[in-house]
Structure 1
Amino acid sequence: MKSNLKYIFVFFLLIALGCQEEGREDLTDKSGSAPAQISDIEITPTPGGGVVKYEIPNDDNFLYVKAVYEAPAGVTREAKSSKYDNELILEGFGDTNTHNIKFYSVGRNTKESKAIEKSFNPLTPSIYNVAETIEMNAVFGGIEVLYNNLDEANIILQVLVDTLGTSIEYVPYDKLYTKLPSGRWVLRGFDAVETNFALIVSDPFGNKTDLIKVTLTPLFEIEIPKDDFADLRLPTDSRSLRSKNPITHLWDGVINSNSNFWASDQNQDPMPKWISLDFGNKYILSRLKMWQRGDEEYTDGNLPTDWEVYGSNNPNPDGSWDNWTFLYQFGRPYKPSGLPHKQRTQEDIDYARAGLDYEFTVIPQGYRFYRFKFNETYGAGAFVIITEMTFWGKLDE
């Protein structure tokens, strides 16, 4: 046995010595010349940039191509593409002026060829295209920003507020980062007084538009107090699943809980199911927020995906739909990832835990009693789960 171990040791020792004698292969030969230049350069303008096509040189030393340019003005940028590709993307330009681009071939030995210069004019940057579509309107408790971003570019919308009322100094209020082709951004928390707002559209490269200014008066609303809320409990209303899931959990102020929620019965009645609430006073609703069961966001009966709101000041005690006025129908709520049922991202969870917003069109009169009819939920099951509902509007005196 010892003899065998001795031969094994000698075998590996010879292999190690052989490796040392062979040495390391150095692929970088800095004594060579720079690689040949690329050729047949064509630049196709894009909004705020361009797409470069070219011919790769037949040179074994060629490793990649590099473009050097300024975008935005005064900021040097580089774009690179390997020997396996013949395309470069230029981006970051904030105008349609003529820009000079320098192209270099870079070799395996790190040497660069002489620069080839070529000029082009980018198309109108996306921020200006978006700025042309901006609309700002007053909504309950704030303003809405409507925009179109047909290039689907990465843009930044920033709203500023003139806190002094001088139309001179605007203070940043909030930002929205998006690349959606269109959208609606709502900002709340403003009093119902005439206010000067401004908006800037910018991109990740530092380009930005001038201020887009508007004077608006947000519509008056209050958060409806829940102290007077009660379960109207009509005969046809959905029953709670268990005693530990009473309907009063809908207005007890506990959000994103995994245990403190209202749940309808699961099997006793098919969909649709509805509940009727007594607000204690007549209110004209402007909007509401709804929270899902914590840790179960966007799953199964957690959250309605098709539901209706009705109002009444004289509901029929038998639970029928007599004397109930249809007010609004809501569909599937927004889910940032767009993933199918039971698949979600952290962004989905964070979005849900902030509360999902639902807005009403103008409701002509106030109601004391509101009925919520749930036609379908996530997972299409025969039950509904909601953690909390908060309402905004105004007292109808």
Structure 2
Amino acid sequence: MKNIKNSLLMVIMFSVAILTACEKMEDYNDPASTDMTKPDVVSNIKVDNFNGGAYITYTLPNSKNLLYVLARYKINGVTTRETKSSYYSDSIMVDGFAKKQAYDVTLYAVSRADVKSDPVVVKVNPDTPPYLLFKPTVDAQADFGGFKITGNNALKNNLGIILLGVGAGETSDVIDQHYTKLPVVDYSVRGYEPVPKKIGYYVMDSFGNISDTTYKTITPFFETLLDRNKFSAYRLPSDGVIAYGWDLPYLWDGKTDGSSNGWHTEPGAPMPAIATFGLGVSAKLSRFVLWERPDGSDKFAFGHGNPKVFSIWGSNVAAPRDAKLPLSAAEGTVIGDWTNMGNYNYPDPPSGAKPVAHTAADNDFVKAGVSFNLPLASPKVRFVRLSVSSTWSSGTFAHAMEMAFYGDPR
């Protein structure tokens, strides 16, 4: 009998809980407030302009039902933007303006019942928008197999460079779009023959504002993939000692997926870990692709002995002598028969994950190989030294699956 009473009590309590939950669900879509009183307006307004926008500060009205402040404004004469700031704040930011000029911003105090106050119009005078500051710094020059694009995005805004290809009849097609927040822009667009090509480029921001377009006719430099069948080991005393049968010629055998051997040095030696080899030709190099060791039986990508900080040294001497390379040296540094042709950092996992927690997509990025540019001013070389200063594990050895070089061997 006692158990029956306890069971009935539990059923009653459960039923009450369900009814209460249903009542809450039924009320979920009710208005946030039934108070339709119009809020008072914001007051004591001050404006602090910046590039492409302004901060507006104010005193909130003494309205108990206030929820937020709304700013409504046109950024280019056509597009209307709205921004909101909660009642916890006494300021609001308006941005995205297309030009350096005066704009009207209308402010409303808005209640929990979605009732707006009377409008208050504020005049803002934003400074030159970031995309218009960026555009004059952007330049396009000839590069190996295409075009080299540079620029200075001093304010680090999210901006895009849109590259156009101009064809017959002056019709234009988008051939590349590059978006960045980096302060220094320096990248290449490749895949073009060494014949004159008319291009155009403009800058746009995330609000849809577009700069004017600059047109140029540029002739790309000749570029080809160097024949890896002509590569050969050129062992020097200061090179890393080979370990685990991962000998140097595996670095150009065309196998990149990690299922076979690559180049691997003996642990315990002082860094840098160096590999020296001949290209079989004297060539002005434009870029190279490095395939690091991807995940396999262990998570090698972004770890283990994969190069993180490294440099490329070159020599055009017929039989270059050994030289002890430093952990770091400025580009263009000459030590004996060897010239520093560039210093590099392997990129972090594209997903944004920590190296030890990289994703399958990050591993695919490693398996695809990463391309690195060599300076246009680099001299012709016959021999190359890969010098690894540090690895992802900060160990005393290095490994890589494959390297390929592009340039002009003529």
Q: Could you say which TM-score interval applies, normalised by the shorter chain?
A: 0.7 to 0.9
Aligned to 2:249: 248
The CA deviation string for residues 28-52 of structure 1, in whole angstroms up to 9 with x for no partner, is 4435311121112222222222111
Aligned to 2:340: 328
What amino acid is the match of 2:370?
Answer: G
Structure 1 Cα separation of the partners of residues 356 and 59 of structure 2: 45
Aligned to 1:390: 404
Structure 1 gaps, min length 5:
none
The CA deviation string for residues 263-313 of structure 1, in whole angstroms up to 9 with x for no partner, is 323236443333332333333323212121113333232015133423255
What amino acid is the match of 2:258?
Answer: N
Per the normalisation by structure 1, the TM-score is 0.85
Structure 2 Cα separation of the partners of residues 329 and 341 of structure 1: 30
What amino acid is the match of 1:377?
Answer: T
Structure 2 Cα separation of the partners of residues 120 and 29 of structure 1: 33
Structure 2 Cα separation of the partners of residues 181 and 109 of structure 1: 45
What amino acid is the match of 2:303?
Answer: T
Report the secondary structure of 1:227's partner residue.
helix
Residues 39-58 of structure 1: pairs in structure 2 closer than 5 A = 39-58=43-62
Aligned to 2:377: 362
Aligned to 2:89: 85
Aligned to 1:125: 129
The CA deviation string for residues 144-183 of structure 1, in whole angstroms up to 9 with x for no partner, is 221112222211111112233x6x3332111111112222
Give % identity: 26
The CA deviation string for residues 340-394 of structure 1, in whole angstroms up to 9 with x for no partner, is 9845766866765441314044344442x43434444333322111121111122
Aligned to 2:277: 277
Aligned to 1:380: 394
Report the secondary structure of 2:148's partner residue.
strand
Superposition deviation, residue 130 in structure 1: 0.2
Question: Are 1:30 and 2:3 counterparts?
Answer: no
Question: Which deviates more, 123-132 or 287-296?
Answer: 287-296
Aligned to 2:101: 97
Residues 261, 388 of structure 1: 8 Å contact kept: no
Structure 1 Cα separation of the partners of residues 18 and 251 of structure 2: 78
Structure 2 Cα separation of the partners of residues 14 and 395 of structure 1: 84
Aligned to 1:161: 165
What amino acid is the match of 1:388?
Answer: E
Aligned to 2:286: 286
Question: Which deviates more, 319-328 or 385-394?
Answer: 319-328
Structure 2 Cα separation of the partners of residues 334 and 14 of structure 1: 62
Report the secondary structure of 1:79's partner residue.
strand
Gap change, CA 1:55 and 1:351, over 3 Å in 2: farther
Structure 1 Cα separation of the partners of residues 119 and 80 of structure 2: 16
Gap change, CA 1:345 and 1:304, over 3 Å in 2: closer
Residues 298, 344 of structure 1: 8 Å contact kept: no
Report the secondary structure of 2:254's partner residue.
coil
Per the normalisation by structure 2, the TM-score is 0.82
Gap change, CA 1:283 and 1:145, over 3 Å in 2: closer
Gap change, CA 1:27 and 1:278, over 3 Å in 2: closer
Question: Which deviates more, 153-162 or 337-346?
Answer: 337-346
Superposition deviation, residue 326 in structure 1: 0.9
Give the aligned length: 388
Gap change, CA 1:335 and 1:311, over 3 Å in 2: same
Structure 1 Cα separation of the partners of residues 97 and 364 of structure 2: 34
Question: Are 1:315 and 2:319 counterparts?
Answer: yes
What amino acid is the match of 2:318?
Answer: N
Structure 2 Cα separation of the partners of residues 18 and 277 of structure 1: 79
Gap change, CA 1:60 and 1:190, over 3 Å in 2: same
Report the secondary structure of 2:186's partner residue.
strand
Structure 2 Cα separation of the partners of residues 39 and 159 of structure 1: 47
Superposition deviation, residue 94 in structure 1: 0.7
RMSD: 3.4
Residues 261, 385 of structure 1: 8 Å contact kept: no
Residues 331-346 of structure 1: pairs in structure 2 closer than 5 A = 331-335=343-347, 342=355
Structure 1 Cα separation of the partners of residues 357 and 191 of structure 2: 30
What amino acid is the match of 1:372?
Answer: L
Report the secondary structure of 2:137's partner residue.
coil
Superposition deviation, residue 198 in structure 1: 1.4
Superposition deviation, residue 129 in structure 1: 0.2
Gap change, CA 1:336 and 1:135, over 3 Å in 2: farther
What amino acid is the match of 2:314?
Answer: Y
Residues 197-212 of structure 1: pairs in structure 2 closer than 5 A = 197-212=199-214
Structure 2 Cα separation of the partners of residues 149 and 17 of structure 1: 58
What amino acid is the match of 2:395?
Answer: G
Structure 1 Cα separation of the partners of residues 353 and 206 of structure 2: 31
Report the secondary structure of 1:288's partner residue.
strand
The CA deviation string for residues 42-77 of structure 1, in whole angstroms up to 9 with x for no partner, is 222222221111111111111111111122322222
